[in-house]
Amino acid sequence: MSKSLGSLVEALGGELLGDPATPIDRLSPLSSAQTGALAFVAQDRYAHQIQTTGASALIVTPALAAAAAARGACIATSDPYLYFARLTQWWRAEHAPVDAPAVHPSASIHPDATVDPLASIGPFAVIGAQATVAKGARIGAHSVVGARAQVGEGSLLYPRVTIGDDCCLGDRCILHSGVVVGADGFGFAPEAGRWVKIEQLGAVRIGNDVEIGANTCIDRGALDDTVIEDGVKLDNLIQIGHNVHIGAHTAMAGCVGVAGSATIGAHCTVGGGAVVLGHLRLADGVHISAASVVTRSIRQPGHYTGMFPIDDNAAWEKNAASLKQLHRLRDRLRAIEQAMAHATPETPESP
Amino acid sequence: MSKSLGSLVEALGGELLGDPATPIDRLSPLSSAQTGALAFVAQDRYAHQIQTTGASALIVTPALAAAAAARGACIATSDPYLYFARLTQWWRAEHAPVDAPAVHPSASIHPDATVDPLASIGPFAVIGAQATVAKGARIGAHSVVGARAQVGEGSLLYPRVTIGDDCCLGDRCILHSGVVVGADGFGFAPEAGRWVKIEQLGAVRIGNDVEIGANTCIDRGALDDTVIEDGVKLDNLIQIGHNVHIGAHTAMAGCVGVAGSATIGAHCTVGGGAVVLGHLRLADGVHISAASVVTRSIRQPGHYTGMFPIDDNAAWEKNAASLKQLHRLRDRLRAIEQAMAHATPETPESP
Amino acid sequence: MSKSLGSLVEALGGELLGDPATPIDRLSPLSSAQTGALAFVAQDRYAHQIQTTGASALIVTPALAAAAAARGACIATSDPYLYFARLTQWWRAEHAPVDAPAVHPSASIHPDATVDPLASIGPFAVIGAQATVAKGARIGAHSVVGARAQVGEGSLLYPRVTIGDDCCLGDRCILHSGVVVGADGFGFAPEAGRWVKIEQLGAVRIGNDVEIGANTCIDRGALDDTVIEDGVKLDNLIQIGHNVHIGAHTAMAGCVGVAGSATIGAHCTVGGGAVVLGHLRLADGVHISAASVVTRSIRQPGHYTGMFPIDDNAAWEKNAASLKQLHRLRDRLRAIEQAMAHATPETPESP
């Protein structure tokens, strides 16, 4: 479904240079865009592609507007990437409008549940006793909303999401397929070589505008609740342990594991595959690199990393073997320094 | 639902000091407990909180009983953490009694399946041909019990668990949402640059009192079965490859991966995000730190670790770059030692 | 169900030495095989087990045929492991024939969907508008095929697989329980400390003969599609980000994470728990060890590793502490070398 460039600028703003009638059939990456495509130039380092792209129109910064306009239509805006984000939302809404609210006849809804007349419930979904599904919420096929659980206004559960008993979800959240909110936290007391289960009596509280990726798990608290604040974005296959607290607008990439009772600040980012150990505290604005293991609390904002550098296997084997001797190497180095200090007082001092 | 401290001690034992009529409304962490709460002091290092907590009653060791009794009611017991674990079980049973057994009318039960009259089957659950669901077992909504699979007495499958054909599960197990037992192991033979599938003809055998966390996967064996012994506790998002054998009462934290044919002893613990490579053997009582990679068999009980220490990114970059030179640094160090040994025979010897 | 060794060779080829009437009841590992079992000797280093195994018959290379025949029946073939793979397929087909195609009456099939009469649809499966399910495809219980999605001929979806809207799957694919194809990629533009969602307008395209393990996720592309080429094999709990491209016949073990827009060549292997960062390019024939983090493009085929070697915890602590000083150690070493070069010109040169 083609849109005119003008209708798009009318909806989203920005300064239009060129023909408002330019037809836009699709959004494309700059490098592969062809006629009919609208593309964006997020960073100056891609500016050289302005001359070569086949896009019918470009979204650029004011600084690049003259160059872009010289080759065809463009939209000038202070933050092209943000403009592009809003454009994708508008594009989707125009091309895939949300169906009218409906409850599928196969859904299993407890008579004591409260489902707003403007909510949608998909095939085979299960809504438990005293659960609440608010206005505009959409519950996908096979999703389960547990007893006394709450789903806020406009929240979207894709097919096959589980919200455990007593857990609550704010407004405008998006939960992808396979998400499990409110499984038991991992808590056991040892007794003579066996594990005695600690029943997990808390729940999970999730704020507004939270997005949770496919197959990600957020465990219920042991006594108090696990808490995910507003605007948090979690990618796929993430594990959030019991009683974790994640501050607002923190984002985590795929495969991250956060152990129980960790408290993570607001506006943090955690790279893919990183691990945060339990009972730690991360300040606001902490950025953890992919695959790093957070073994201690981090009280200062900043960028932290711990990751073995990749190398060809033969080189790695040699270096890894040496690493097991590293402490001894340090001792040997110190011994040399001391011997040299004794022999020649002007050599560098050892600590 | 409030309980008297006395009724609780009557059920669980321990020595009660103070008023048995003290009402207990909830269980709370020591640090945030308020009036109406019961909290426990698991370790002496929290003893200083005894004076400041707002809890109505405390669970303490006999050594701390006098201090605790001086401020209000308490229960003295040799292992407060274990007492607390049992208390959570009792509390849950009192407050959320299990529903009477019932088969939801929407469930799809094969006519050749055997479902005990005292078992429960949730909405849209699927029970396959010749499958067996024993007394007191509860099969959650959307769970699938494959053909010839067995679920033991009192076992609990949360919504959306898959038990593959021919797999069996002991008594009193708990499987959380998204668990997949009995997917195919990852086995292929190479043929001229392509992969030829090795059908996985084994199954999975799981003992009694096993708990398996959300979205955890346990693959079926290639020829023999994959085996999980009694009392094993697996957290969320764990991968157990084909023909793995996990000994009794071993516990693994979230995001662990165990590759095919690894044999892990009894009473082991594996920290979150750790990886155990295939065909290895871990003795009983081996403890692996989080995020460590087990690349060789470990024959002695003990605590093992391999993890790059986290640092601020700038420091990490320097050290990681040096790490790629480590083997050469070792050679250079040896050369110095040899030169010095030649020059001055009293310097330390190089290996 | 017992098979004669002769019927097996008739179906699969190879040279039979010994009695074709030898009854085979099961396939077993060489080390635990008993009477009635057929086992294979994949590598010469297991040749010594030929004398001790209890197997009724063996699959061996021609070089080992004489030794094997001296103790009983055997099949000689140039690649016993490949022969074994084909045998498992034949064995399964003989013992567990596929049911006749059928659509379970509980399935929810959109009136605009196209389901081939020779396809099977399981209980509670959901087939969306304009979706296509081809001949011989089998859709497991609780699986969801989204609107306009396509499932190719003979593809098998185990229970509880989700194929998102517009995603397509080739022929003869196998998707295990919990797989999520086509969840949104993880894309957000920052705006004043908040995240603005970038709608993911692309889809996922999966080739022929692809196998995807339990609970693995493949995200849809932001603008273009995510692409998985023919013959790719993915194990369980793998995360494939948006716009990733995986070349033909590449295999990845469990718990791997591939970040967005990575391009991975054909015939690669990635070990369990490895992480590939975004926007990187791996050449054909690159092999990444388990738990390694790929932080840069790799343009040469070969074997690459980056993993902290495991050690007993006390030794690790010392070496990890020294590692944080490594760059300084290097400086100190250089200082010594310079001092020695000054003092004694014959010492080795520092870089």
Domain contains A349: no
| Segment among A71-80, C297-306, C341-350 with least mean pLDDT | C341-350
Q: What's the confidence (pLDDT) of residue B347? A: 47
Share of chain A above pLDDT 70, in %: 98
Nearest to A344 among C187, C321, C339 (CB): C339
| Same domain, residue pair B272 and B203 | yes
**Hey, what are C285's tokens?**
């024939």
Q: What's the confidence (pLDDT) of residue A351? A: 45
Share of chain C above pLDDT 70, in %: 98
Q: CB C309 to CB A291 under 8 A?
A: no
Domain contains C191: yes
| Same domain, residue pair B295 and B161 | yes
- Cα nearest neighbour of C289 on chain A: A313
| Segment among A256-260, B207-211, C44-48 with least mean pLDDT | C44-48
- Cα nearest neighbour of C311 on chain A: A324
pTM for this entry? 0.96
Domain contains B103: no
Contacts 24+ apart (CB under 8 A), B7-10: B8/B38, B8/B75, B8/B87, B8/B90, B9/B75
Q: Find the catalytic residue in C48, C110, C142, C242.
A: C242
C-chain residues within 8 Å CB-CB of A344? 339, 343
Domain contains B254: yes
Mean pLDDT of B324-340: 91
* Cα–Cα distance for residue pair A243/A251, rounded to 1 Å: 18
Q: What's the confidence (pLDDT) of residue B74? A: 97
Domain boundary among C55, C70, C95: C95
Domain boundary among A73, A95, A117: A95
Domain contains A87: yes
Q: What's the confidence (pLDDT) of residue A99? A: 86
| Same domain, residue pair C225 and C329 | no
Q: What's the confidence (pLDDT) of residue B184? A: 98
Q: What's the confidence (pLDDT) of residue C349? A: 47
| Same domain, residue pair C140 and C209 | yes
Domain contains B100: no
- Whether C261 has a pLDDT exceeding 90, the answer reads yes
**Hey, what are B48's tokens?**
């200083």
Q: What's the confidence (pLDDT) of residue C14? A: 97
Q: What's the confidence (pLDDT) of residue B96? A: 85
Q: CB B82 to CB A309 under 8 A?
A: no
- Whether A285 has a pLDDT exceeding 50, the answer reads yes
Q: Domain limits at C124?
A: 108-304
pLDDT band at A343 (very low <50, low <70, confident <90, very high): confident
- Cα nearest neighbour of B309 on chain C: C320
**Hey, what are C331's tokens?**
């400086």
**Is C242 part of the annotated catalytic residue set?**
yes
| Same domain, residue pair B123 and B89 | no
Task: Say how many Å lie between the first and final Cα of chain A, rounded.
Answer: 71
| Same domain, residue pair A212 and A159 | yes
B-chain residues within 8 Å CB-CB of A323? 323, 326
Beta-sheet strand order (sheet of B57-60) = B15-17, B73-76, B57-60, B37-40, B26-27
List, in sequence order, every residue forming a beta bridge with B236; answer none if it has no partner.
none
* Cα–Cα distance for residue pair B287/A255, rounded to 1 Å: 23
- Whether A37 has a pLDDT exceeding 70, the answer reads yes
| Same domain, residue pair B52 and B125 | no
Q: Which residue has the tokens 């009557």?
A: B10
Sign of CA dihedral A55, A58, A63, A66: positive
pLDDT band at A347 (very low <50, low <70, confident <90, very high): very low
Mean pLDDT of C62-77: 96
Query: Which tens digit of pLDDT belongs to each residue from B128-156?
Result: 999 999 999 999 999 999 999 999 999 99
What is the pairing mode between strands C120-121 and C73-76? unpaired
Give me the DSSP letters along A65-126: HHHHHHHSEEEE-S-HHHHHHHHHHHHHHHHSPPPPP-B-TT-EE-TT-EE-TT-EE-TT-E
| Same domain, residue pair A127 and A193 | yes
Supply the CATH number for residue A44's domain.
3.40.1390.10
- Whether B346 has a pLDDT exceeding 90, the answer reads no
| Same domain, residue pair B275 and B182 | yes
- Whether A125 has a pLDDT exceeding 50, the answer reads yes
Query: Which tens digit of pLDDT belongs to each residue from B285-326?
Result: 999 999 999 999 999 999 999 999 999 999 999 999 999 999
Query: Which tens digit of pLDDT belongs to each residue from B85-123?
Result: 999 999 999 998 888 999 999 999 999 999 999 999 999
Looking at chain C, which subunits does it touch, using at least 3 CB pairs closer than 8 Å as the criterion? A, B
pLDDT band at A42 (very low <50, low <70, confident <90, very high): confident
> Tell me, what DSSP letter sits at residue B45?
G
Q: Please classify residue B67 by burial: count the beta carbons closer than 10 Å to its beta carbon, then call 0-12 exposed, 13-18 middle and 19+ buried.
A: middle
| Same domain, residue pair C167 and C64 | no
Supply the CATH number for residue B171's domain.
2.160.10.10
Tell me how crowded residue A67 is: count the other CB atoms within 10 A of its CB: 16
Mean pLDDT of C29-46: 92
Query: Which tens digit of pLDDT belongs to each residue from A216-267?
Result: 999 999 999 999 999 999 999 999 999 999 999 999 999 999 999 999 999 9
Domain contains C89: yes
Query: Which tens digit of pLDDT belongs to each residue from B38-90?
Result: 999 988 888 899 999 999 999 999 999 999 999 999 999 999 999 999 999 99
Query: Which tens digit of pLDDT belongs to each residue from B229-241?
Result: 999 999 999 999 9
* Cα–Cα distance for residue pair C75/C335, rounded to 1 Å: 67
Nearest to B347 among A178, A288, A339 (CB): A339
Of B61, C193, B70, the C-alpha closest to A284 is C193
pLDDT band at A96 (very low <50, low <70, confident <90, very high): confident
| Same domain, residue pair B141 and B229 | yes
* Cα–Cα distance for residue pair B267/A190, rounded to 1 Å: 11
CA distance C185 to chain A (A): 8
Q: CB B251 to CB A188 under 8 A?
A: yes
| Same domain, residue pair A166 and A261 | yes
C-chain residues within 8 Å CB-CB of A251? 188, 195
Q: CB C82 to CB B255 under 8 A?
A: no
Number of domains in chain A: 3
Q: What's the confidence (pLDDT) of residue B344? A: 57
When the pLDDT of each residue in chain C is averaged and rounded to a whole number, the result is: 95
| Segment among A52-56, A115-119, A175-179, A347-351 with least mean pLDDT | A347-351
Q: CB A333 to CB C335 under 8 A?
A: no
Query: Which tens digit of pLDDT belongs to each residue from A291-304?
Result: 999 999 999 999 99
Domain contains A224: yes
Q: Find the catalytic residue in B95, B242, B287, B342.
A: B242
pLDDT band at C347 (very low <50, low <70, confident <90, very high): very low
Catalytic residue positions of A?
A: 242
Q: What's the confidence (pLDDT) of residue B134? A: 98
Q: CB A313 to CB C325 under 8 A?
A: no
Domain boundary among B95, B121, B148: B95
